[in-house]
Amino acid sequence: GNSVTQMEGPVTLSEEAFLTINCTYTATGYPSLFWYVQYPGEGLQLLLKATKADDKGSNKGFEATYRKETTSFHLEKGSVQVSDSAVYFCALSENSGAGSYQLTFGKGTKLSVIP
């Protein structure tokens, strides 16, 4: 079956520090990969996505590259802000076949950015 493993938190960084949150996956087919973010008191929001190998998703200064050879989709940001404090979820969905509408999530990584 499909699975997503992401680094456990919590992660605490100072403002303007470099962020990496590791994510690796196991899938039977060729999935699409996603990062979702959950800000305090809000619902999950799509942050970025990549649908095929070597694609780079980017949004709000965050980037992640779909690496098929290492089955990874690590999230990076060069300079974090206090407003980036949230829980980040890596997820995948199969591009075809039964259950392709399902998202399989990692357990989430809580990021706290201090001034």
Partner 1 sequence: GAGVSQSPSNKVTEKGKDVELRCDPISGHTALYWYRQSLGQGLEFLIYFQGNSAPDKSGLPSDRFSAERTGGSVSTLTIQRTQQEDSAVYLCASSFGGINSGNTIYFGEGSWLTVV
Which residues lie near partner 1 (CB under 8 A)? 32, 36, 41-46, 51, 89, 93-96, 99-108
Report the nearest approach of partner 1 to the CB of residue 59 (Å): 12
Q: Which residue number, 76 or 105, has a Cβ lying nearer to partner 1? A: 105
> Least distance to partner 1 from the beta carbon of 12, Å?
19
* C-alpha span between 99 and 110 (Å, rounded): 28
Q: Which is nearer to partner 1, 12 or 95 (CB)?
A: 95
Question: Based on CB atoms, which residue is closest to partner 1, 6 or 77?
Answer: 6
**Residues linked to residue 105 through DSSP beta bridges, in sequence order:** 91
Q: How far is the CB of 85 from partner 1 (least distance, A)?
A: 18
- Identity (one letter) of the amino acid at 96? S
Q: Where are the beta strands (DSSP E) in 9-108?
A: 11-14, 19-21, 23-26, 31-38, 45-50, 56-59, 62-65, 75-77, 86-94, 104-105
